[in-house]
Amino acid sequence: MKFDVIVIGGGHAGCEAALAAARLGAQTLLLTLNNDHIAQMSCNPAIGGVGKGQLVREIDALGGEMAQNADATTIQFRMLNDSRGAAALSPRAQCDRDLYQKRMKLVLERQPNLMIQQAEATGLVTEQNRITAVTTAFGDRWECRTAIICTGTFLDGKLHYGMQSFPGGRAGDAAANAFARTIREDLKLETARLKTGTPVRVLGKTIDFDSLDFQAPDTTGKVFSFRPLPTDLPLFSSLRLDQRPCFLTYSNEETARIARDNLDQAPMYAGRIHATGARYCPSFEDKVVRFPDRLRHHVYLEPEGITTDEYYLNGISTSLPPAIQWQLIRTLPGLAAAHISRYAYAIEYDFVFPHQIDASLAVRRWPNLFLAGQINGTSGYEEAAAQGLIAGVNAARQAAGLTPPVTIGRDQAYVGVMIDDLVTKDIVEPYRLFTSRAEYRLSLRQDNADRRLTRLGHAIGLVPSSEVDRLDQLERDIDDAIRQLQSIRLEGRSAWELLHHPDFVYERHANLPTFPPRVMEQVVIAARYGGYIERQERQAQAMRSLDACPIPPDFDFNLPGLSVEAIAKLSKRQPATLGQASRIDGVTPAELALLQVRLKTTPGSRRHPGDEPSP
């Protein structure tokens, strides 16, 4: 049987890729090592966070599944950075790890046009520069028009517990060693090693919760998705599970001493791991070495679900030996008698340098092959899922003969910021998305993801017309509310003018009209940030003019006047537009101007009338 799209890997990238492709009508096959580990939350049992929560809402606005899956399995929802302004607000949810996995598996199983098979992909069949089939360890050969690789941490994965190491994609799962060789030797893609890790889990019955700081769930009823949950999934139709608190404790000088005294048994410091770890998610032994003067670090105790007593210790991941982990954990207030149910470990794995893909996530050398998730050097469920959605859309479109591919700009979404960073920046550590990476973050807020992206999702074919109708009504309600406030005089000024001031409390004025909460939220943001947003829009327009100037695929960057560094980086990354070239480290404004002049005289480098933009 021949499939339009084959997705290799059933993690968060693979799930979104497979669903997007199938929902666009592509006959899709998802290959995964274990059907019962589809959408496994391999690290923390949470979705969202700073920068990540914005991604989840963008995935939802584009027609993806992650937001709804999180909403259906949330056991605590919080809005982070609520004192730092609209641009920094970031939703985050603790989820039931087991139910999150089970619901996503059910969604995939029920999806028309999508088949799932538990099998290890071992190779790719190629003809000229195209992928024509995927082979498995069972001897199957599945033909395809396009393929998407979403292998996570499984490529030559190796787990480290102190001085002991074992092959594996994560605890309890085998590594994909044969497929790693296929990528390196058959596809000739440039790879390197990255490292990540996970902390211990402990049993709640052994924790002294009275000694910990209590973090209550958000009681506002907020959720990720802009859409109502479907009612046809048994056990997952209600919006709220029982909400659970989280707890906070701190490491201390004794905790740091134990880690410091045993660095010779930490594989990273003993020379057993040569991969690069995430700077923004360091192990506890990294914290002790990098911040020697800091006397304590936060450790959050997060429930793993409503049907388990296990707690995840966020903030104290380690690869120290199990015997040392017992000593380490029992120095924490509230955990003097804690029982470790699962040991912490580090994992190193292969990734593909993402300068080898373009903004559609297609591999330049193999144009019908797409990469999504940690194989591109990212870390995090949300980053993976967003890439999977884009890769699934573009693989399905290519299989159907549709052009051009869907690409999203830095000024449109955090999804676009991330993919542009992958294509243009040097990835030397696991990439994590933050609000600070977005130049236009005041426009790319979590609250307006639907206003930014729902129409694009509908144009792609993933969002129903009813959502566009809902959005149109919202826009009319916002415009009507602003007109009403502009016509009301209060204290010698219009209510709209008064709303521009942060110290103006709308609720204190009983004579002012009442609007639905979502409408009021958008009106207040428009009043208080409108000038700044307009300034960002002018900056974005300048960037868009550079992005509208294409660079031919075979362009020779060996130009007089360019530095050796610029020639090397431009030749390596092969930017598709002048805008991409401008964001490559080491290319100066003067060199960019020289390149722009040369492009004006190069055939095929101008946008011609009638060229269709990306949908």
Q: What is the pLDDT of residue 268?
A: 86
Q: For residue 476, is pLDDT > 80? A: yes
Task: Name the β-bridge partners of 351.
Answer: 192
Residues 6+ positions from 263 with CB-CB distance below 8 Å: 269, 270, 285, 289
pLDDT of residue 609: 31
pLDDT at 612: 40
What is the model's pLDDT at position 60? 98
Check residue 542 and give its pLDDT. Answer: 87
Residue 209 has pLDDT above 70, yes or no: yes
Class of CATH domain 464-545: mainly alpha
Percentages helix, strand, coil for the chain, rounded to the nearest 5? 40, 20, 40
Amino acid at 104: M
**pLDDT score of 69:** 96
b/e per residue, 256-271, with b = 16+ CB within 10 A?
bebbeebeebbbbbee
| Distance between CA atoms of residues 78 and 217, nearest Å | 7
pLDDT, position 327? 98
Q: What is the pLDDT of residues 498-536, one digit of tens each?
A: 999 988 999 888 889 999 999 999 999 999 999 999 999
Q: Is the pLDDT of residue 67 over 80?
A: yes
Tell which residue, 90, 92, 93, has the closest CA to residue 441: 90
pLDDT at 272: 86
Mean pLDDT (whole number) for 105-130: 98
DSSP element (H, E) containing 401: none
pLDDT tens digits along 376-430: 999 999 999 999 999 999 999 999 999 999 999 999 999 999 999 999 999 989 9
Q: Measured between alpha carbons, how far is residue 504 from residues 364, 491, 515, 527, 528 in Å?
A: 54, 12, 17, 11, 11
Q: Residue 303: which H helix or E strand, with range?
A: strand 298-303
Q: What local confidence, expressed as pLDDT, does residue 279 receive?
A: 82
122: left (phi over 0), alpha (psi -120 to 50) or beta: alpha
Q: CB pairs under 8 A, 24+ apart, for 484-488? A: 484/513, 485/512, 485/513, 485/523, 488/512, 488/513
pLDDT (tens digit, 9 = 90+) per residue, 18-27?
999 999 999 9
Q: In the predicted model, what is the mean pLDDT of residues 184-190?
A: 97
The per-residue DSSP string of 127-179 comes to: ETTEEEEEEETTS-EEEEEEEEE--TT-TT-EEEETTEEEE-SBTTB---HHH
- φ/ψ of 259, rounded to 5, equals -65, -45
Residue 488's CB is within 10 A of a number of other CB atoms, namely 15
The answer, yes or no, to whether the previous bond of 404 is cis (omega within 30 of 0) is yes
- Among candidate residues 347, 388, 17, 369, the one with its CA nearest the CA of residue 189: 369
Residue 130 C-beta-side C-alpha neighbours within 13 Å: 10
Fold of 2-41+99-197+348-427: FAD/NAD(P)-binding domain (3.50.50)
Going by C-alpha positions, the residue among 248, 243, 247 that lies closest to residue 218 is 243
d(CA 45, CA 99): 11
Token readout for 274 is 């040569």
Q: Is the pLDDT of residue 610 over 50?
A: no
Cα dist from 109 to 69, 103, 395, whole Å: 14, 10, 20
201's tokens? 């889990």
What pLDDT is recorded for position 275? Answer: 87
Backbone angles phi, psi at 403, to 5 degrees: -135, 160
Q: Is the pLDDT of residue 238 over 70?
A: no
Out of 3.20.20.70, 1.10.150.570, 3.30.56.10, 2.60.40.10, which CATH number does the structure's domain 548-600 have? 1.10.150.570
pLDDT at site 84: 82
Lowest mean pLDDT among 341-345, 444-448, 462-466, 543-547: 543-547
The band of 349, judged by pLDDT with boundaries at 50, 70 and 90, is very high
Q: What residue ranges of the chain are covered by domains with CATH 1.10.150.570?
A: 548-600
Q: pLDDT tens digits for 443-466?
A: 999 999 999 999 999 999 999 999
Q: Which helix (H) or strand (E) holds 69?
A: helix 66-73
Which residues fall within 8 angstroms of residue 496, CB to CB, at 6 or more apart?
482, 485, 486, 488, 527
Q: What is the pLDDT of residue 310?
A: 98
Statement: the pTM of the whole predicted model exceeds 0.85: yes
Give the residue-averaged pLDDT of 134-138: 98
- Cα-Cα-Cα-Cα dihedral sign, residues 39, 41, 46, 51: negative
* pLDDT exceeds 50 at position 274: yes
